[in-house]
Amino acid sequence: MAWEYRVIHIDVSGGSPPEPPSPEADSRRLGGALSPEFLEREFPQQYLGASRRPRHPAEQLQFFLNALGRENWELVEAPQVGPLLMFVFKRPALELPQLPPGGAERGSVS
């Protein structure tokens, strides 16, 4: 069976947790090219409920893992490499790798 792999990392080096999305902060980060009002109007899903408290990291990770599980990804291992926590997933390959034209016969000896 052929496998397809996916690796995702999380930086666990510490520091303060990210702030909730803010159209004002994002506008400043863009050098004022887009106004806070424009950002909030055009990307309501980004800023909707931004003032509420962020979800606990365990709840966020659970949501993320369940979403990948629905796509048939299976968590294989989660090693830490320096400040990075690596999540390694696998699932059966959707398509088998294709051999080049001529396949195995190309290099065979008669």
pTM over 0.75: no
Expressed as residue numbers, the domain containing 11 is 1-15+55-98
Q: Is 108 part of any domain? A: no
Per-residue pLDDT of the chain (110 residues; tens, 9 = 90+): 899 999 999 888 777 666 778 899 999 999 999 999 999 899 888 887 655 666 788 888 899 999 999 999 999 999 999 989 999 999 999 776 666 776 555 444 44
Let me know whether 48 and 71 are in one domain.
Answer: no
Question: Are 90 and 38 within one domain?
Answer: no
Total structural domains in the chain? Answer: 2
DSSP 107: G
